[in-house]
Each structure stands twice: as C-alpha cells, then as structure tokens.
Amino acid sequence: MLSKGDDFPLHQTPEPVAYAGSDRNFYDRYFFNGYSADGTTFFAVAFGIYPVLDVVDAHFCVIKDGTQHCLHASRKLCMERLELSCGGIAIEVLEPLNRLRVTVEGEGLAADITFTGRAFPIEEPRFTWKRGPRTIMDYTRMTQNGHYEGWISVDGIRSDLPTGTAGTRDRSWGIRPVGMADPQAPQVVPQFFWQWTPINLPRRSVFFHLNAHPDGSAWNTRAVSVPDGSDADGQIHTNDAILASTLQTATRWPSSSELTIAGEAFTLEPLLRFQMRGLGYTSPNWGHGLDHAELEIEREDINLSSIDPARPDNLHVQMLCRVTGPSQETGFGVFEQLAIGDYAPLGLTGLAAPA
C-alpha cells in the first residue's frame, strides 16, 4: 500500500509509510491550545492518527460565555497518513517545527488560525510506562509555545483573535491506550497522575511536567526554560523542579499553585477551566481511536457551570492561569491535570473521589 508519505524520506522500517509496526495502540497526534492576553478567549485542537486501527479523528473546542463548544469528527484513515483533514477540521504544516495552520468548518463552528513558534520545540524525555508485562505507554513528545493569528466563528458570530493571543502546541507519537479497551488487560483500578504547565512569559517560555506513581514518586518529569528565538542548544533542561499544588474543594481539579524551578518561583492563579473530554481525552463517546465507521461528525456544547467534577470523564482539565514569576515577571499559561486513582501527596484514594 503506497501513500503520499512514500515520496518523502520518512521511512522508519523497510515497509511503506502506511504501516506502523504491529502494535495496535500506535498513534500520531497534533495538539494546540490558545488564549488571549486578557484570559477571555480559549480554544484547543486535537488531531490523531491510528495507523493500525485505520482511524483518524479530530476535535476543535472554543469557550464562549461559559460554554465549551466542541466539534468532533472521525473517519476511516484508509492508510493515508498525510491526508490531514477530518470532518471539516484540517491541519497544514506551513513551515515544519515553526508554523502550522488549522482550519475548521462544521456544525456552526468555523476557524482559520495560524500558529508561529517562539523558539525551537523542546523534546521531552521518552515516556515509557509498564504495568507488569504490558507496555501501557511508550512515546515521544515535542512541545512548543507560540503566538496565533486568525479568527473563530461560533454560530455565525465571527471574532478575530486578539493581538497577543498565545498558547502551546505539541506533537506526540508512539504507543498509548487507544480505541476499544483490551478485554484481556488486567482488571485493576486504574491509576494515572499527570501535571503539565506550559507558560508564556514576555521573553521566554517555561515548561514543566510530571507523571507520578501513587506514592508521588516521578516516573517521568522535566522542566525547561526557553528564551525567545533560541535553538535546541539554547534550552535549559533540569529535573530540579517541584509543583506545590492544592485542589479545589470537592474536586480533583487544581487550584492556586506554586512552581519552583532551580530556585525560581512561579505562582499560577486559575482564571478559566477547560474540559479535556471536549478533545476526546477520556470521553466515553469520542475517545481517541474509537471506530465511527466511514465518517461521523457531532457537535457538543458543554455548560461549564454544571459539570459533575466526580464523573471520571470530567477529571482531565486544563486551567488557564495568570502566572507571576521572579521580579514580577508576568504571563499566562495552562495547568493541566489528570488524577485517576490513588495519589498520596494530594490525599486521593479510589477512582475519582475528591480528597
């Protein structure tokens, strides 16, 4: 099966690009989020390819007046991995590792937005997580902060992105649980703890992430400071970082927090909450890689004030935060958290119960 990718020097095996090894959970994903400098605009995009499942899915969300408007789409991949469009959501790579364009058209939602990176993307440590003999995760991710320009329309009301709209995009590929659950997987209470804080400051970007075991010990973590315009050699990577966070009352959602990286302290003040299920993460209906036949498109509107915080598919959130750093250095970023199962440092036990 030859495809468009075979005319590019992308091959990793002796087979055509359409084939991605034998692991059914192999995936390749784009992610974007963006927000205005005053914290009133927030949007996000996810686009995933699952070569062995022969599925591609895409999601677009924008928050307006307390409602998270979501467009979901899924179709058959047909083994063509360079066809970056799905149900009215499309991605165009204008300049690799720097500029990308996202367009949206469907179910009353539309957008045309272009991302431009502030510096060369960071490569995070390879994520490898095993449970007994099974490999649950094994993937690589690159992350990049940047600026956006363009417009978004909700039900015919179009708004240009305000000057200074910023955000983060990432690319990840490898193995994660996707599609239907494996019926032969061990039947245990799941546990997964994740925190991620990409921050846009006036002259630099700051990144921190943590994957941790139930006792709080890290199995993957890194902090990075990236000056604007720098290449890979200009990035400062360290594991000398700690995020002291609390939870909102009766939830597993993060509250005000302080991130300390190599002696520099950053205070994160939440302004707005985004539900990651709008992008398919932990969604029972639109989970990544689920088979929706030839093509399915659906709009979902989430009233953010009526969310049940204890429902498992509502645990995964991004909090848009105002960030204050050393010497009153101020900016914006997100605090993403997913806490499933036990996590001793925050007093969490069981699948989804609050502390």
* pLDDT per position as a tens digit, 267-301: 999 999 999 999 999 999 999 999 999 999 999 99
Structural contact between residues 51 and 79, judged by C-beta atoms closer than 8 angstroms: yes
Beta partners for residue 31, in sequence order? 46, 170
Supply the pLDDT for residue 190: 85
Residues 342 and 237: their CA atoms lie apart, in Å, by: 29
Mean pLDDT taken over the chain: 95
pLDDT digits 0-9 by tens, 219-260? 999 999 999 999 999 999 999 999 999 999 999 999 989 999
User: Global pTM?
Assistant: 0.96
Of residues 204, 206, 339, the one with CA closest to residue 267: 206
pLDDT at 302: 98
CA distance 166 to 211: 25
What spatial distance separates the first Cα and last Cα of the chain, rounded to whole Å?
52
pLDDT band at residue 134 using 50, 70 and 90 as cut-offs: confident
Which whole number is the average pLDDT over 103-118? 98
